[in-house]
Amino acid sequence: MQQNGEAIVGLDTSGGTLTVTVSYRGEKCTRRRKGIKQERLLFPALHSALAACHAAMTDIGRVFIVRGPGRFTGIRISLTFASMLKYLNHAEVRGATLFEVLRRQTESSAVFKKWKKENPNGVLGVVLHAFREEYFLQFFDEENHAPLWLSREELLKRLSSYQRPLFLAGSAKEDAPLQTLAGPAFAYAAKKDCFVRPATLLSMAQEDTWANNALEPLYLKPARFELVNPK
């Protein structure tokens, strides 16, 4: 749990929008910045959020990062920042994948809970746009499926051939609703649960579960690479 005088920072640099959120002595502040060169955006956004909470870099005692999937450079920014704070401030580091963050938000929603009650055998799937006509996918069922990077065609085949009811969270190309990609055959999470919320980062930051592999990035190989190099 957060100690008095200890700032918590939640950070997501995995996509096209940088998200920095700070919690300190009851104050909370978030900054979002759009742009590819997030290494230039991070510290101005961070200092702005810290100042709004009357905190400084030296007050940071815990950092939570989204460790992938997403842009290679973006993921490295979060990992480098967290490693730096761990060394300089002896800050505790927590980290989760984007799949796990959206899973947390979705499974906490009333819409999903109602659907799960009606479909006790149902499974949550998280779909995220990767690049052009390719997507990330992870099913959260008992088989502990590894996340995948798939072509659009392969993704739709996997969704349609899945043998249990599916509830989908995430977004399609250009942040469009998943319904525009997968159609009416599935149940869907509300828009607010399909994008990272600052409150979720701060909440997960306080859970020791996410200390495991916190600095381990999740890089996925694209579908075309898997096809050319099946081994």
Q: What is the pLDDT of residue 51?
A: 98
The Cα 161–Cα 159 span in angstroms is 6
Q: The domain at 7-97+196-219 falls in which architecture?
A: 2-Layer Sandwich (3.30)
Q: What is the pLDDT of residue 231?
A: 39
Residues 132-153: pLDDT tens digits? 999 999 999 998 889 999 999 9
CATH fold for the domain made of 99-193:
Nucleotidyltransferase; domain 5 (3.30.420)
Residue span(s) of the chain under CATH 3.30.420.40 come to: 7-97+196-219
Residues 57-66: pLDDT tens digits? 999 999 999 9
Looking only at the bridges linking them, the beta strands covering 7-12 and 17-24 are antiparallel
Q: What is the pLDDT of residue 144?
A: 84
Query: Which whole number is the average pLDDT over 171-185?
Result: 96
Residue from 164, 168, 172, 171 nearest 184 by CA: 168
pTM, rounded to two decimals: 0.93
Residues 78-91: pLDDT tens digits? 999 999 999 999 99
The Cα 124–Cα 193 span in angstroms is 13
Q: What is the pLDDT of residue 150?
A: 95
Q: What is the pLDDT of residue 223?
A: 56
Looking at 4-13, 85-94, 139-148, 155-164, which range is the least confident one? 4-13
The Cα 88–Cα 145 span in angstroms is 37
Q: What is the pLDDT of residue 230?
A: 41
More confident residue, 210 or 226: 210
Q: What does the mean pLDDT of the chain come to? A: 93
Residue 226 has pLDDT above 50, yes or no: no
Q: What is the pLDDT of residue 163?
A: 95
The Cα 100–Cα 207 span in angstroms is 13
Query: Which whole number is the average pLDDT over 143-172?
Result: 95
Query: Which whole number is the average pLDDT over 62-82?
Result: 96
